[in-house]
Amino acid sequence: WIIWINLQHWSQIIGLKRAAAKHLIERYFCQLTEGCGNGACTNEFCASCLGFQPLDHNTAAIRALELYKMNAKLCGRHSAAFPDNSSAKETHPTLLEVHYLTEEKVYEILSICEGKKDYSPLIRVIGRIFSSADGLVQSFRKDKEQHPNTKEQHKTHQAKDEDKDEDDKERTTAMEQESEASASMEGATGSTENRLGPVEVSVDIEAVRRVYDRLLSNEKMESAFLNALVYLTPNVELDLTYLDVYDTNPDYLNIFIIVMENSSLHSPEYLEMAMPLFCKCMSKLPLPALAKLTRLWSQYSVEHIRRMMETFQQLITYTVISNEYDSDSLVNDDECVVAAAKCLKLVFYANVLGGDLDTGHNEEEEPASESSELTLQELLGEERSSKKGPRVDPLEKELGVRTLDCRRPLIPFEEFVNEPLNDVLEMDKDFTFFKVDSESKFSFQSCPFILNACTKSLGLYYDNRISMYSERRITALYSLVQGQQLNPYLRLKVRRDHIIDDALVRLEMIAMENPADLRKQLFVEFEGEQGVDEGGVSKEFFQLVLEEMFNPDIGMFTYDESTKLFWYNPSSLENEAQFTLIGIVLGLAIYNNCILDVHFPMVVYRKLMGKKGTYLDLTDSHPVLYQSLRELLDYEGDVEEDMMITFQISQTDLFGDPITYDLKENGDKIPVNADNRKEFVSLYGDYILNKSVERQFKAFRRGFQMVTNESPLKCLFRPEEVELLICGSRNLDFQALEETTEYDGGYSKDCRIIKDFWETVHSFGEEDKRLFLQFTTGTDRAPVGGLGKLKMIIAKNGPDTDRLPTSHTCFNALLLPEYDSKEKLKERLLKAITYAKGFGML
């Protein structure tokens, strides 16, 4: 009882202090803007003082807070500057009774002000209500009966709002309905409102928008809203930090709904004074409140979602470019940027929910292979991160939707990337926070939508390297404990003429005995060659394996001449181990930071990330078939009579013989008509992309996951980014490569030979440019981020000679003799890049 009484007393003191502080700040503000009315005033903090420089309302609001903190002098009240309550009551007898606002009440006061050409009464009412959490919560309610005019009715209204049991019951029912709606979403596209159901809130959003549109055209009104938000946010932050205000009153969310409808939030004044703390307040909302706000915003128009996105983006950009960050002062420690990123996450998921969703059609996850090394790690007090399961964003889990579920968002995902933030982010530190210290430190990898593919690939690189060092350390411990031979690397010794057989046997043995060895650093050796693998030999190994596997004569994949893409051959006679090897190779390429020349349709990467293919994915994998199915869906005539097709389809096998497949039982007896054509199209797409190649793809994915299962790949990258990670960029900007190239051995960018070299390279056609990249770097693709990220080195390799240029593909280094003419340079270089194959020791 004593503790309870002390708590009650503490709460009362906090309330009194807050009210007193607010009152003092208001007096300072009034003193700075209107003065005390005494012409002989000597208070330097008063507008009536001789020589006082007038302040605008924004500056005055900040100054008032400073004066309050320093307990500055306050002038005595003067009737002209500080009208008391009685004079206000005589002028506007109803204004003091306004404890909340409705659209009608705002227009009523506005009409009075317009008649007298004095807007100060409305400004004061706006300032008082919009700076009060209680006032905003009660304002702009949908039900007009909840806005009585008398004090007695107002008390009744407050009593109803304070009925906690009723509010909790309504909130629980609404959340259950939202969860049921989310769980029942199908793969077909449709409106967000139909999928989720309307999110019920008590505030009349359309009325709020009309009021803002009417009032924000007045500059003085805009200042009133700004100043009110500055006063409001400290109190809201206290409420959310120390009191469970949303649990006791879900309508507390109205504050954030109303404030976010202000179309001026992106202005510099708001970004500097009000938005940082407001974002901090919003980020402190409990998870159910954040989810409800996200669902509500997902039902907004694209224009409204875009405006909110741009507001938070501008706040991040404004803060980043206004500060300097380094390894000691990280952007991760900037509360404003962190809070804005968390708020932007709500808009991002609203954008996902409002787009075309497909929450079904998920691939079945296979259990991860357990390594025998887990026992030793557990003995050492270490656990693999995979045992804790993949990282899932709490908001994503609460909403029941993933980024992968969205086929087409309302706003392109690329617009959520903030480049200034990417430029200042210390990815090594951010990665540490993401993997080790996520509870106490914020990592921007928890908001991967804000990072570009280049930044995320750097985080993945750190993760892969740490995994390699960890496997190396565990291997060393094993050799000590069990006396095994030390083998800290994944070594592959292969013959060029039997590369598939050698690689398949070795990798299959490793996968069966200990899959964890696949996460060791790769070293490849070609039998009979002297090349030492520092990256370049591995690149050629990957290229040769893929050339062999994707050879049409092998029959593992089919090639479409029109799309230039490969697809699994459903009639392939190769065993599953061959497809598993391809998956391992793709995983190893990501793990060892190599780029591959792979040509898969996007549906392959969606399936690797966990989504089954649907008929919509046929657009790039089987465009002719997709067009036919599209025409079937759009056909306006008699489908059954004119098309004469059934639920039985026909294909040709590897030898050209026809084979049939029933999409439904007794499909040959079920005609396709206008009523069941959607089902036919859906089953057809499912067969082509999933069922017909199930054996091949499962083996392929199994190999891929052997390497990437413990990687943050799925939680950081979208399917199109995974393709970029594996295949690199097809856009070759040699101008960017020239700007970032470094020189060694006596060369510089001003040397004649270097100028001749770049003129020659720029004159090459597309094919020769790709051959040059293949010769110098081991791949003909640009890395993630473009050729500007390549860091090529051109080193002097002696005076003029007939020798050809050589390269160290491991280090992206070109060894170039100082040829005496441009013509000889071009002839020698073309011969080198055209006939280059194999490795040797120089």
Catalytic residue ranges:
810
Task: Report angle CA 110, 115, 119 to the nearest 5 degrees.
Answer: 50
Tokens of 466: 């740490």
Determine phi and psi for 646, rounding to 5 degrees: -125, -175
User: How far apart (Å, rounded) are the C-alpha atoms in residues 650 and 659?
Assistant: 6
Q: For the chain, what is the largest distance between any 2 Cα atoms, rounded to a whole number of angstroms?
A: 106
Distance CA 220, CA 465 (A): 58
Contacts of 290 (CB under 8 A, 6+ apart): 346, 395, 398
How far apart are the C-alpha atoms of 447 and 451, rounded to whole Å? 8
Which among 121, 139, 141 is positioned nearest to 130, based on CA atoms? 139
* Alpha-carbon distances, residue 342 vs 270, 280, 285, 306, 445 (angstroms): 18, 9, 11, 16, 12
**What is the C-alpha separation between 225 and 261, in angstroms, rounded?**
12
Residue type, position 704, single letter? F
* 3-state secondary structure labels for all residues of 95-128: HHHCCCCCHHHHHHHHHHHHHHCCCHHHHHHHHH
780 and 771 in contact (C-beta within 8 Å)? Answer: yes
The CA-atom distances, in angstroms, between 192 and each of 36, 184, 189, 299, 819 are 56, 13, 9, 6, 66
User: What is the C-alpha to C-alpha distance for residues 130 and 117, in angstroms, rounded to an integer?
Assistant: 22
Q: Residue 280 phi/psi, 5° resolution?
A: -60, -40
Q: Which tokens go with 476?
A: 């060393």
Cβ 536 vs Cβ 526: under 8 Å: no
Contact indicator for 581, 507 with CB cutoff of 8 Å: yes
Whether residue 500 contacts residue 549, with contact meaning beta carbons closer than 8 Å, is answered with yes
Contact 726, 595 (CB under 8 A): yes
Residue type, 562: S
Q: State the CB neighbour count (10 A cutoff) for residue 372.
A: 11
Cβ atoms of 253 and 201 within 8 Å: the answer is yes
> Cα(441)–Cα(747) distance, rounded to whole angstroms?
46
Rounded (5°) CA angle 796-800-802: 110
Q: Tell me which residue of 809, 810, 805, 812 sits closest to 833, measured CA to CA.
A: 805
Mark out the alpha helices in 184-274 (DSSP H runs).
192-196, 205-215, 219-242, 245-248, 254-259, 268-273
Task: Report the candidate in 283, 469, 482 with the shortest Cα–Cα distance to residue 372.
Answer: 482
Compute the distance between CA of residue 428 and CA of residue 333 in angstroms, rounded to an integer.
Answer: 15
**What residue has token string 């439904």?**
664
Residue 203, beta-bridge partner list? 141
Element of type H or E holding 742: strand 742-744
Residues 249, 794: Cα–Cα separation, whole Å? 67
Residues with Cβ within 8 Å of 359's Cβ and at least 6 positions away in sequence, in order, are 182, 185, 186, 187, 400, 401, 405
Query: In 3-state terms, what secondary structure has residue 110?
Result: helix
